[in-house]
Amino acid sequence: MAAFFVTGTDTDAGKTAVTAGLLRAFARAGVPARAVKPVQTGCVERAHGLEAPDVEVWNKAGGEGKALYAFRLPCSPHLAARLEGARLDASSVAEACRASVAREGVTLFEGAGGLYVPLNERESMLDLMRELRFPALLVVANRLGCLNHALLSLDALERAGVRVAGMVLCRVSPPGLADAGTSPEAESLILQDNAVSLEREGEKRGVPLLADIPYQARHDPDDAGFWDALADRLQRAAFTLAGDGDEKNDAEALLAFDRAHLWHPYSSAMKPLPALEVTGAAGARLFLRDGRSLVDGMSSWWCRVHGYGNPRLVRALQRQAATLSHVMFGGLTHKPAVELCRRLLRLLPSGLEHVFLADSGSVAVEVAMKMALQFWQAAGREKKRRFVALRGAYHGDTLGAMSLCDPVTGMHALFSGALPEQIFVERPTCRFDRPYDPASFASMEATLRERADEVAAVVVEPVAQGAGGMWFYHPGYLRDLRALCDELGVLLIADEIATGFGRTGRMFACEWAGVSPDVMCVGKALTGGMMTLSAVAATRRVAEVISGADASRGGGAFMHGPTFMGNPLACVVACASVDELCASPWRDRVRHIQETLERELTPCRAFSGVTDVRVLGAIGVVEMASPVDVEAWQDFFVSRGAWIRPFGRTVYVMPPFVISDEELRMLTEAVRGAVASAASHGGTPVSDGREGEALC
């Protein structure tokens, strides 16, 4: 099974003739092939309905094809659809295209016009290609200026992440139509040089010139000899495309190398869990090498709030990469970092005024801990060197951050003696969806009142504990904690790496309690999952105390400086992500996801083995009585077209905010199906043979 997108440098570049000739070449070689026109304009009314002119040409060549969206007026898809009261969007057209990929052989999708022909007021044919991620065949009209058009098209395809399988040079106008003053001899030299130059430029980019088709007058399109001659010219192209789609051996070699040498997270190097090869992604979908697509219920571990391939983020990254990809942040600054911090300070809880840019979530927690320690040292309170954390907490995998993770469900026992010993209190027992019980704060209050003199800070995940069990606690607990920290002189550090940027239904989870921490960590969705970046924001008091003391007391300068601090690529993408979030109806989207998850996951309570179902914002959790077999559950989910990776006793989904209703339903049905199957098979779901959604 292979699919390619036939596009051109312009309208009338020869795409339809090339597609027809390829269909003829495939047929003669015994390769099953079909063509699909995603959008056809200029259709003719016939007795049997609208007839697509390009499909008619393919039929004359002996090929098989169809048009997915057909309109009458011969103009851009956007205008033709609008005049007939319809609206095209890249996502829905791409979905229809994937459903049209043949299970065997080659499927050719022929675009309309060039790359930037509009589908709607925001999206073009290139956006459709970006969504599909099919390799492209670029048809270049061989005429004066074609090299410029071809290279600009190749640049655009590369920026869009679309691999170009090859080019076909096609002479579409008869000889003698050169510009005034150009002799036939000069015109011939120009066309020949176009071919040589295009082949040379293609070699530089790894894009072969597969055919150079001279002008062929179509005296009789019903003449089989005409199409055979064209197929002869395209034989190499057909052979290359057919071989390009046969990647079984490459895929097996890639996975074998992965198993032998790549060490995946939370996995054995010698006995790794199976890994699936992802070849592309768009929206809420992951596309696998074998043709299946999976709905991503993990948001790539909680960061892909905008889904995959968001044009604003992609363009921001590409523009910045061509200008300034990285520069040290010591003694230097740049606009992306400044603009990002401006945006953050407008969004963060009040009182947070100073931003330190770090590499990742774990490093952000390390930075926050160092800030707290240096703060108290600079203040002359050197004994305040311990941290208080909640049981059920997870704050990262580096040593300092790991010391704040639950000592039982975390990794303390494995690294006993190497980690700093912190102070743990019972996690809040008051559920988010129940009335607040002040008694649930008793353990924290008793601990802080007894040990405040040695405590530098309390570190919490506000309202929603993540990888420690997906526990949602009442905002009242956070309000009481803020008040007690103020009373006893203890800093409050909020780890919003997983909860920030709308995941719980508020921009930041601290907003549920109406409190501001002394230090806040953000990451993950900060860049929309495009790049690794985190930020640590502190109050003016924290910054002034650290900066105001003399060096003998640990003051004057904050002692941390990552090499990639303030990386311009990451900062500019984070700016784009924040802008995209703020411009979107994210509150409505998260509210809708929450309502759907509540409705669709609540029936899981009825199955044996389930101890709880809870939902907060765009997080849905089914808690099991016993730890799950990750491999078995994951295999079941993949068989249902869903990418869900449980851990411990927790089966959960945290989808991208842009997920469609149908995709969200696929996730909830997969969870319900797995829970029901596990209840019938001793706690482990057994696939019923249903296959995950394929591209065909």
Query: What pLDDT is recorded for position 184?
Result: 74
Q: Do 641 and 663 form a contact (C-beta atoms < 8 A)?
A: no
**For residue 514, what pLDDT is reported?**
98
Tens of pLDDT along 138-163?
Answer: 999 988 888 999 999 999 999 888 99
The answer on pLDDT for 353 being more than 70 is yes
Averaged pLDDT for residues 351-370: 97
Q: How far apart are CA 361 and CA 364, in angstroms?
A: 5
The CATH 3.90.1150.10 domain(s) of the chain lie at: 277-306+586-680
Q: Determine which of 241-245, 343-347, 449-453 has the lowest per-residue pLDDT on average.
A: 241-245
Q: In what order do the strands lie in the sheet with 293-296?
A: 278-282, 285-288, 293-296, 642-643
Tell me: pLDDT of 475 over 70. Answer: yes
Assigned token pair, 175:
């000889």
Of 127, 495, 518, 652, catalytic: 495
CA neighbor of 672 nearest in space, from 603, 621, 624, 617: 603
Pick from 52-61, 127-136, 218-227, 439-448 the range whose average pLDDT is largest.
439-448
> Which of 179, 193, 266, 661 does the annotation list as catalytic?
266
For residue 96, give the 3-state DSSP assignment: helix
pLDDT digits (tens, 9 = 90+) for 13-43: 999 999 999 999 999 989 999 999 999 999 9
524 is catalytic: yes
Q: What is the pTM of this model?
A: 0.85
326: pLDDT strictly greater than 70: yes
What's the whole-number average pLDDT of the chain?
92
Given 69, 394, 473, 477, the catalytic residue: 394
pLDDT confidence bin for 176, thresholds 50/70/90: low
Instruction: Give the mean pLDDT of 77-103.
Output: 92
pLDDT tens digits along 433-453: 999 999 999 999 999 999 999
pLDDT of residue 695: 41
What residue spans in the chain does CATH classification 3.40.50.300 cover?
2-245
- What is the average pLDDT across 265-275? 90
Task: Classify residue 259 by burial, with Cβ atoms within 10 Å: 0-12, 13-18, 19+.
Answer: middle
- Reading phi first (left if > 0) and then psi (alpha if -120 to 50, else beta), residue 44 is in beta
Which pLDDT score, from 0 to 100, does residue 221 have? 67
Q: Where in the chain is the domain with CATH 3.40.640.10?
A: 311-583
Record the tokens describing residue 577, joined without a space.
């992500």
* Greater model confidence, 475 or 288: 475
Q: Is 495 a known active-site residue? A: yes
**What average pLDDT does the segment 408-437 reach?**
88
Per-residue pLDDT for 11 more than 70? yes
- Whether 37 is a known active-site residue: answer no
The CATH number of 311-583 is 3.40.640.10
2-245 classified as CATH 3.40.50.300: yes
Tell which wins on pLDDT, 174 or 385. 385
Residue tagged active-site, from 15, 60, 384, 524:
524
Is 477 designated active site?
A: no
CATH topology of domain 277-306+586-680: Aspartate Aminotransferase, domain 1 (3.90.1150)
The two tokens of residue 59 are: 């039929």
Specify the 3-state DSSP secondary structure of 242.
helix
